[in-house]
Amino acid sequence: MLIKQYKSILIPIPSYGFDPTEVSIPWKLLTANNIEVTFATPQGDKASGDNIMLTGDSLGIWRTILKARKDVVEAYYEMEGSDAFCNPFKYTDIKEEDYDGIILPGGHDKGVIEYLESNLLQKLIVNFFAVKKPVGAICHGVVLLARSINPETNKSVIYNYKTTGLLKSQELLAYNLTKLWLKDYYLTYPNKTVEDEVKSVLIKEDNFIKGKTPLGRDSEKHLEKGFYVKDRHYISARWPGDIYNFSIEFIKMMTNIVVINEDHAGKCI
């Protein structure tokens, strides 16, 4: 008889401002594959995604291009009504040993700063890397990894890993398209891009892999439009347009088929 081992994934998020795509699509695909998702927020209160990304309000003529797609909006509101999302853990109450893996989403609204600068999360991430549990990070989530310093080496946990993240060209393009009315909304840290910060912690800049030009968003039927980088137990992606590739590859890494019979009890295949 073939069964899937029980799995549990942690997705920490800020109180407000996370990217709806980068949280709701992994949640939807993980739960569809019988993988439990637990959310965590700074104070254990129910969080809210970036409303501008959900509605397109204030995006002006770029609304259609920049806002979350219809499939994302539907997944977000489904997720918002789930028990896991309505009852998140508090950052102080989460422990690495309670989970089989972790996903670190992004978001560019200033609300994500409390998440990116959380010492609690940074220490937690060091523990996930120490035991080599699956770690996924997308967009600004890679910044959180860059800031997670292994005390034994005084280096970032991704120092010797290949990675990607939000490209400087993507970040500055979105900013320049909307700066007349949204000011620095698209620049979480106006003085440093995601790509620049991530590159600064790597053993060599070539370990930051940009991938093909991101011209469109992927989907389950059009995975060729997306991109991800996998290095050992770590998967990274650049932006919401990579989310299906990212989520599917993370699930592949998590899914463990076990044979259970008299002759081969517990043998992994």
* CA R_g for the chain: 18
Q: Could you give the CA distance from residue 23 to residue 76 in angstroms, rounded to a whole number?
A: 8
Residue 3 has pLDDT above 80, yes or no: no
Report the amino acid identity of residue 52: I
Residue 226 has pLDDT above 90, yes or no: yes
Helices (H) and strands (E) in the chain, counts: 11, 14
Task: Tell me the average pLDDT of the chain.
Answer: 92
Query: Which pTM was predicted?
Result: 0.92
Residue 230 has pLDDT above 50, yes or no: yes
Chain segment 66-84, per-residue pLDDT in tens: 999 999 999 999 999 999 9
With contact defined as beta carbons under 8 Å apart, do 21 and 53 qualify?
Answer: yes
CB atoms within 10 A of CB 205: 11
At 177, the pLDDT band (50, 70, 90 cuts) reads very high
At 215, the pLDDT band (50, 70, 90 cuts) reads confident
Report the amino acid identity of residue 132: K
Residue 180 has pLDDT above 70, yes or no: yes
Phi, psi of 40 (to 5 degrees): -140, 140
Residue 264 has pLDDT above 80, yes or no: no
Helix (H) or strand (E) holding 107: none
Phi, psi of 77 (to 5 degrees): -70, -30
Core vs surface per residue 6-34: b (16+ CB within 10 A) or e = ebebbbbbbbbbbbbbbbbbbbbbbbeee
For residues 119-134, give the mean pLDDT.
97
At 255, the pLDDT band (50, 70, 90 cuts) reads confident
Tokens, residue 96: 């690495």
Region class of 112: left (phi > 0), else alpha (psi between -120 and 50), else beta: alpha
Q: What is the 3-state secondary structure (H, E, C) of 209-221?
A: CCCCCCCCCCCCC
Q: Give me the residues paired with residue 36 across strands.
A: 8
Residue 204 has pLDDT above 70, yes or no: yes
CB atoms within 10 A of CB 232: 13
Helix (H) or strand (E) holding 149: strand 149-150
Q: What is the pLDDT of residue 268?
A: 29
For residues 214-221, give the mean pLDDT.
92
At 260, the pLDDT band (50, 70, 90 cuts) reads very low
Q: Could you give the CA distance from residue 267 to residue 269 in angstroms, rounded to a whole number?
A: 7
Q: Could you give the CA distance from residue 207 to residue 160 in angstroms, rounded to a whole number?
A: 8
Residue 31 has pLDDT above 50, yes or no: yes
With tokens 């347009």, the residue in question is 241
With contact defined as beta carbons under 8 Å apart, do 23 and 10 qualify?
Answer: no
CA end-to-end span of the chain, whole Å? 12
For residues 142-160, give the mean pLDDT.
98
